[in-house]
């Protein structure tokens, strides 16, 4: 029993395999395929779907995905199973495909076969056609299947034609397979090897007219029969066609007509099918459109194409009907010679229609593919969109959470702010109250202030009145002060006069003695200075006569010892400098033998520091200082000349061309007091100017000194400082000049020892020095004739010697014992000058002794002190008065100061 069962099973499986191989030739399954072989071919579901589509086109979507895509594989199987369920065929489980027996699968497929293939007949067109002719017929392979009757075959044939029409748009003509297997017979039947249709025997024609033969004849053959008959008719010219041929023609044309009508029917069916598909597609498109707008364009494209196809289908149908009509008309005019041409046209059209059909098939398959692609893209797009949506959703949820947090935070903050604002509000209210009370207080204060300001106004008016009275009183007082200030200048002038008188009393000719210290390297030398007493007393000791006998006492206005500094020396010259700015002429000499310190006293040592500056620098500096102090009342201008007198010739030491030019001396007193007007006069305003100027002078003297050996000691150097002061108040001008003379060495030259230039020099020096002594002596003696003209020196100095002029002579001494005799001679010269003057002073007072003179001096000093006090007071008043111009209205002139 089991044996029989398995036998039946294997038979059924063979039938199935054969069927499968026939509908899917690529499958090539062996007839006795094992479970595994079946599984290998069916497991991916694609073959199952293909089978289903073969028996029922468009049932399922065939997914041609890679085999490893298990998901899609199972999808295919599921689709197949769903379709099977719809058809009510016993199904199998997915697991049956994967393992175990394939019986359930085989049963299911057999059920499918049974539903779509009439029992005992293969659906395969080959089988359908081959069965009657039994061309490939192998009854054993078909087993229990019984051969079909003609009616059944026809029915099956028509059914198969319908099926073909459903899945192929080809014209309902015997398929290629039919032609291949059976066509040769019809060819034999319809092929006219030679001869004419008219000559065909009746048996042949009757055979041709058998419906079976006509049914199975290809349209081409039928058309060739029609053409052949028509050709013959044309050739025969008489147009007669034998009756039987005409019958055949009618039969053939009827067959063609039937085919065309079938074709039309097919086309209609197809059109309906397309419509249904179009609707399906449109619904799908709508779904797709709804799912993704992205696929919209493609769907439109598809719709357009479908529309086009629809239009073309309609056109085809109309063409077909036209052709049909044409054919009908052709039939009614069979004898018409034009039928042939029309036939040809029809054939062409039919061919064209067939081609178009092919084309449309292709288009439909392309559209299908496009739809597949669109679907895939859409799915992919959906997948992406979904992924995006999930991503966005997650992001949004995070954002929502954040926002919720923020909301909670801001709510908290709002609450806090509310609390704060409430407290602030309360504070503001408190503040408002405070401000209100403050404002009230301020208003009250304002009222008080108004009252107070009114009273203050009154007070101010009163004060103004009292101030104006006071101002009037002050004006009166100031007037008195202004008067007093006006007296200031008068007092100043008087002071100057008194100062001058005091100087006069001290003597207009003064003699100071300065003893040079021993130079470094002269230590241990014997000195001739015995004693330097106070009040200008000097005791000289004769080194060759020790003891009192050898001592000789001299008296001068002042004696400066070797330790006296330049500053100390200048202190005693200071009053003379003041006299110069007061408009007096002053002459300061340095007299003594060479090397006794004349140049040191007058100028200072070479490269002197400020401490070592001589009288020249200090006098000029003092002049600047005084002029600075007086600048508010008198404007001073200071100019300097520098000349030397050598061999009774005057030379300019400040000219840029050296001192070679001889200068003339004016005898008539110039208003500006210039004795040597041609000598260069350089203005000086500062100490640096003075230093520059002295350097020029010394350089010019040095240039000469190289030419004439040690000329500096054998010429007189005269620095003249001219001071011109303009009184800013009165407009008067005063002149004063200061001569600073560094005389030539006073040493006596033994006439028997020297000759030539040296002798001439010595003579000139002796002459000029003795002339100077004579002039001073004459002045002191107040003799009417003063011998100024005896030497150039006295001529140059004339304006500064005598009259109101003051003369100061430094007697320079070399303390060395070896210079004793020269020192003594110097001292005697000085004694003559000073002693005579003092004596003269005494003689001019006629009998009055010195004590009286001293008393007078003391009283004068008192007067000066009083005047100084008064000046100070006035100065104070002046400072107080400040900007009152009336006080500066000085009325008294100082012209009396002029020399």
Instruction: Work out whether strand 649-652 and strand 634-646 pair parallel, antiparallel, or are unpaired.
Output: antiparallel
Q: Are 887 and 723 in contact (CB under 8 A)?
A: no
Q: Is 566 in the site for Mg ion (CB under 5 A)?
A: no
Which range, of 132-140, 268-276, 547-555, 596-604, touches Mg ion by CB under 5 A? 596-604
Q: Is 708 exposed, middle or buried (0-12, 13-18, 19+ CB in 10 A)?
A: middle
Compute the least distance from the CB of residue 696 to ligand ADP, in Å.
19
Smaller CB distance to Mg ion: residue 148 or 515? 515
Closest CA to 378 of 305, 276, 297: 297
Binds Mg ion (CB under 5 A): choice among 163, 599, 601, 894: 599
CB 556 within 8 A of CB 838: no
CA nearest to 53, candidates 25, 16, 83: 83
Question: Smallest Cα–Cα separation from 742: which of 566, 562, 621, 616?
Answer: 616
> What span, in angstroms and rounded, lies between the C-alpha atoms of 610 and 618?
9
Burial 727-743 (b: 16+ CB within 10 A, else e): bebbebbbbbbbbbbbb
CB nearer Mg ion, residue 599 or residue 704: 599
Q: Both tokens of residue 377? A: 């893209």
Select from ligand ADP, Mg ion, none the partner in contact with residue 592, using the beta carbon and a kind-dependent cut-off of 5 to 8 Å. ligand ADP
**45 marked ligand binding residue:** no
Residue 517 binding result from Mg ion, ligand ADP, none, given CB thresholds of 5 to 8 Å by partner type: ligand ADP
- Looking at the Cβ atoms of 680 and 713, the one nearer to ligand ADP is 713
Rank residues 598 and 878 by Cβ distance to Mg ion and give the closer one: 598
605 binds, among ligand ADP, Mg ion, none (CB under 5 to 8 A by kind): ligand ADP
CA distances in angstroms from 412 to 25, 400, 404, 405, listed in the order given: 80, 18, 12, 11
Q: Which residue, 131 or 514, has its beta carbon nearer to ligand ADP? A: 514
510 binds, among ligand ADP, Mg ion, none (CB under 5 to 8 A by kind): none
Q: Is 592 annotated as a binding residue?
A: yes
Distance of CA 199 to the CA centre of its chain: 114
**In whole angstroms, how close is the CB of 872 to ligand ADP at the nearest point?**
37
Q: Contact region for Mg ion (CB under 5 A) — 73-81, 324-332, 554-562, 590-598?
A: 590-598
Question: β-pairing, 681-684 with 634-646?
Answer: antiparallel
Question: Shortest distance, CB of residue 660 to ligand ADP, whole angstroms?
Answer: 23
780 CB-side CA count, 13 A: 25
**CA R_g for the chain:** 81
Up-side HSE of residue 40: CA atoms within 13 Å toward CB?
A: 9
β-partners of residue 651 are 644, 662
Has 596 been labeled as part of a binding site?
yes
Compare residues 544 and 706 and give the one whose CB is closer to ligand ADP: 706
Q: Is 685 annotated as a binding residue?
A: no
Closest approach of Cβ 762 to Mg ion, in Å?
Answer: 16
Contact in structure between 296 and 289 (CB atoms under 8 Å): yes
- Identity of the residue, 536 or 583, whose beta carbon is nearer to ligand ADP in the bound complex: 536
What tokens does 567 get? 């500053």
The helix-helix angle for 46-55 and 35-42 (nearest 10°) equals 80
Nearer to ligand ADP, 91 or 516 (CB): 516
Consult the annotation and say whether 595 binds a ligand. yes
Residues 324-343 that bind Mg ion (CB under 5 A): none
**How many CB atoms are located within 10 Å of the residue 94 CB?**
15
Question: CA 190, CA 208: separation in Å to the nearest integer?
Answer: 7
How far apart are CB 595 and ligand ADP at their closest, in Å? Answer: 4
Residue 715 interacting with Mg ion (CB under 5 A): no
Query: Which range in 114-122, 157-165, 569-577, 597-605 contacts Mg ion by CB under 5 A?
Result: 597-605
Give least dist CB 646 to ligand ADP, A.
Answer: 15
Listed in sequence order, the residues at least 6 apart from 319 whose beta carbon sits closer than 8 Å to its beta carbon are: 349, 353
Nearest one of 258, 317, 245, 306 to 281, comparing CA atoms: 306
- Name the nearest CA neighbour of 874 among 888, 858, 895: 888
Instruction: Give which of Mg ion, ligand ADP, none residue 596 binds (C-beta under 5 to 8 Å, depending on kind).
Output: ligand ADP
C-alpha to C-alpha distances, 588 to 341, 645, 776, 836, nearest whole angstrom:
167, 16, 13, 18
CA dist., res. 833 & res. 841, Å (int): 12
163 binds Mg ion (CB under 5 A): no
The distance of closest approach from Cβ of residue 695 to ligand ADP in the complex, given in angstroms and rounded to an integer, is 17
Q: Which does 516 bind (CB under 5 to 8 A by kind): ligand ADP, Mg ion, none?
A: ligand ADP
- Euclidean distance between CA atoms 314 and 135, whole angstroms: 41
Q: Which stretch binds Mg ion (CB under 5 A): 114-122, 178-186, 513-521, 591-599?
A: 591-599
704 binds, among ligand ADP, Mg ion, none (CB under 5 to 8 A by kind): none
The CB-of-671 to ligand ADP minimum distance in angstroms stands at: 34
Examine residue 122 and tell whether it contacts Mg ion (CB under 5 A).
no
Question: Rule CB under 5 A: is residue 888 a binding residue for Mg ion?
Answer: no
Q: Between residues 594 and 771, which has the closer beta carbon with respect to Mg ion? A: 594
Q: Can residue 894 be called a binding residue for Mg ion (CB under 5 A)?
A: no
- CB nearer to Mg ion: pick between 76 and 599: 599
The site partner of 578 among ligand ADP, Mg ion, none (C-beta below 5 to 8 Å per kind) is none
> Which residues have CB under 8 Å from 881's CB, separation 6+?
478, 481, 482, 485, 887
Task: Work out what residue 815 binds among ligand ADP, Mg ion, none; the CB cut-off runs from 5 to 8 Å by kind.
Answer: none
Distance CA 161, CA 172 (A): 7
835 is in an annotated binding site: no
Residue 794 contacts Mg ion per CB under 5 A: no
Give the residue with the Cβ less far from Mg ion, 616 or 633: 616
By CB under 5 A, residue 596 contacts Mg ion: no
Residue 834 assigned as binding residue: no
Alpha carbon 169 to chain centroid, angstroms = 80
Q: Find which of ligand ADP, Mg ion, none residue 519 binds, CB within 5 to 8 Å per kind.
A: ligand ADP
Contacts of residue 822, defined as CB under 8 A and 6 or more positions apart, other chains included, come to 593, 746, 747, 748, 814
Cα end-to-end distance, the chain, whole Å: 185
Position closest to ligand ADP via CB: 597
Distance separating alpha carbons of residues 51 and 64, to the nearest angstrom: 14
**H or E segment at 644?**
strand 634-646
Stretch that binds Mg ion, among 593-601, 606-614, 669-677, 788-796 (CB under 5 A): 593-601
CB of 812 vs ligand ADP, minimal distance in Å:
6
Cα 71–73–79 angle (5° rounding)?
A: 100
Measured from the CB atom, the residue of 209 and 705 that comes closer to Mg ion is 705
Residues that bind ligand ADP (CB under 6 A): 516-517, 519, 592, 594-600, 605, 713, 812
Residue 226 or 511 with smaller CB distance to ligand ADP:
511
Q: Tell whether residue 593 is among the known ligand binding residues.
A: yes
CB of 879 to ligand ADP, least distance (A): 43
Return the half-sphere exposure (C-beta side, CA atoms, 13 A cut-off) of residue 640: 28
Residue 717 in the binding site for Mg ion (CB under 5 A): no
Query: Closest distance between ligand ADP and the C-beta of residue 516, in Å?
Result: 4
Q: For the CB of residue 755, give the shortest distance to Mg ion in the complex, in Å.
A: 24
CA 48 centroid distance within chain: 78
| Residue 183 touches which of ligand ADP, Mg ion, none (Cβ within 5-8 Å per kind) | none
Under rule CB under 5 A, how many of the chain's residues touch Mg ion? Answer: 2
Select from ligand ADP, Mg ion, none the partner in contact with residue 507, using the beta carbon and a kind-dependent cut-off of 5 to 8 Å.
none
Q: Which is nearer to Mg ion, 585 or 601 (CB)?
A: 601
C-alpha distances out from residue 742 to 20, 664, 787, Å: 159, 20, 21
Residues of the binding site for ATP: 592-599
Residues of the binding site: 592-599
Which spans of this chain sit near Mg ion (rule: CB under 5 A)?
Answer: 598-599
């Amino acid at each position: 029993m089991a044996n029989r069962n398995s036998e039946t099973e294997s038979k059924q499986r063979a039938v199935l395999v054969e069927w499968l191989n026939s509908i899917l030739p690529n499958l090539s399954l062996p007839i006795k395929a094992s479970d595994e072989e079946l599984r290998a071919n069916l497991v991916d579901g694609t073959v199952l779907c293909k089978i289903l589509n073969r028996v029922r086109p468009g049932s399922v979507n065939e997914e041609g995905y890679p085999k490893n895509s298990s998901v899609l594989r199972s999808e295919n199987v599921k689709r197949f199973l769903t379709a099977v369920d719809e058809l009510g065929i016993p199904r199998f489980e997915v697991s049956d495909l994967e393992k175990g027996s394939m019986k359930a699968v085989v049963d299911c497929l057999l059920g499918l076969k049974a539903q779509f293939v009439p029992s005992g007949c293969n659906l395969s067109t080959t089988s359908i056609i081959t069965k009657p002719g039994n061309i490939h017929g192998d009854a054993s392979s078909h087993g229990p299947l019984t051969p079909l009757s003609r009616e059944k075959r026809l029915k099956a044939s028509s059914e198969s034609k319908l099926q073909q029409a459903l899945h192929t748009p080809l014209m309902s003509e015997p398929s290629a397979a039919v032609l291949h297997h059976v066509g040769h017979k019809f060819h034999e039947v319809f092929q006219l090897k030679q001869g004419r249709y008219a000559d065909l025997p009746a048996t042949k024609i009757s055979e041709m007219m058998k419906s079976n033969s006509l049914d199975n004849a290809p349209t081409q053959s039928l058309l060739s029969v029609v053409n052949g008959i028509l050709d013959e008719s044309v050739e025969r010219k008489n147009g007669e066609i034998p009756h039987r041929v005409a019958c055949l023609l009618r039969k053939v044309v009827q067959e063609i007509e039937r085919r065309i009508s079938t074709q039309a029917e097919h086309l209609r069916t197809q059109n309906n099918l397309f419509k249904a598909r179009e609707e399906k597609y449109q619904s799908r498109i709508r779904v797709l459109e709804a799912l993704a707008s992205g696929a919209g364009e493609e769907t439109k494209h598809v719709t357009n194409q479908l529309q086009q196809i629809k239009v073309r289908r309609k056109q085809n149908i109309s063409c077909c009907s036209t052709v049909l009509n044409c054919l009908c008309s052709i039939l009614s005019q069979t004898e018409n010679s034009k039928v042939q041409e029309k036939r040809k046209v029809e054939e062409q059209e039919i061919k064209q229609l067939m081609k178009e059909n092919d084309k449309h098939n292709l288009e439909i398959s392309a559209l299908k593919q496009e739809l597949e692609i669109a679907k895939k893209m859409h799915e992919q797009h959906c997948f992406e969109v979904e992924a995006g949506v999930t991503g966005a959703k997650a992001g949004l949820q995070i954002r929502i959470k954040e926002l919720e947090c923020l909301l909670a935070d801001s709510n908290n903050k709002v609450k806090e702010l509310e609390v704060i604002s409430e407290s602030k509000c309360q504070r503001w209210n408190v503040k408002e109250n405070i401000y209100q009370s403050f404002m009230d207080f301020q208003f009250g204060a304002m009222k008080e202030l108004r009252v107070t300001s009114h009273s203050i106004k009154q007070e101010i008016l009163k004060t103004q009145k009292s101030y104006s009275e006071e101002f009037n009183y002050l004006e009166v007082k100031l007037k008195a002060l202004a008067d007093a200030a006006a007296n200031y200048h008068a007092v100043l002038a008087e002071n100057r006069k008194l100062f001058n008188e005091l100087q006069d009393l001290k003597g207009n000719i003064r003699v100071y003695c300065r003893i040079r210290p021993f130079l470094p390297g002269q230590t241990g030398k014997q000195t001739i200075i015995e004693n330097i007493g106070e009040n200008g007393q000097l005791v000289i000791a004769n080194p060759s006569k020790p003891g009192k006998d050898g001592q000789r006492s001299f008296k001068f206005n002042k004696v400066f010892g070797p330790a006296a500094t330049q500053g100390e020396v200048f202190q005693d010259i200071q009053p003379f400098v003041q006299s110069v700015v007061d408009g007096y002429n002053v002459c300061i000499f340095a007299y003594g033998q060479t090397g006794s310190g004349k140049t040191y006293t007058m100028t200072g040592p070479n490269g002197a520091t400020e401490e070592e500056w001589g009288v020249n620098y200090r006098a000029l500096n003092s002049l600047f200082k005084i002029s600075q102090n007086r600048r508010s009342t008198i404007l001073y201008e200071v100019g300097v000349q520098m000349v030397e007198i050598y061999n009774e010739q005057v030379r300019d030491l400040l000219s840029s061309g050296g001192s070679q030019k001889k200068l003339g001396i004016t005898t008539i007193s110039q208003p500006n007091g210039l004795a040597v007007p041609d000598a260069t006069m350089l203005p000086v305003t500062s100490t640096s100017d003075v230093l520059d100027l002295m350097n020029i002078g010394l350089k010019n003297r040095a240039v000469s000194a190289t030419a004439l050996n040690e000329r500096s000691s054998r010429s007189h150097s005269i620095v003249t400082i001219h001071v011109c002061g303009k009184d800013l108040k009165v407009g008067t001008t005063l002149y004063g000049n200061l001569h600073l003379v560094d005389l030539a060495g006073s040493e006596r030259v033994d006439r028997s020892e020297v000759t030539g230039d040296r002798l001439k020099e010595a003579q000139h020096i002796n002459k000029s020095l003795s002339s100077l002594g004579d002039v001073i002596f004459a002045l002191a003696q107040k003799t009417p004739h003063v011998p100024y003209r005896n030497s150039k020196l006295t001529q140059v100095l004339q304006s500064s010697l005598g009259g109101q002029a003051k003369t100061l002579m430094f007697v320079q001494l070399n303390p060395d014992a070896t210079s004793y005799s020269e020192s003594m001679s110097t001292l005697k010269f000085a004694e003559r000058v000073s002693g005579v003057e003092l004596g003269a002073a005494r003689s001019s007072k006629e009998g009055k002794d010195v004590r009286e003179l001293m008393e007078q001096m003391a009283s004068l000093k008192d007067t000066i002190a009083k005047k100084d006090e008064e000046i100070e007071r006035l100065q104070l008043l002046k400072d107080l008065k400040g900007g009152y111009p009336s006080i500066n209205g000085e009325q008294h002139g100082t012209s009396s100061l002029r020399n």
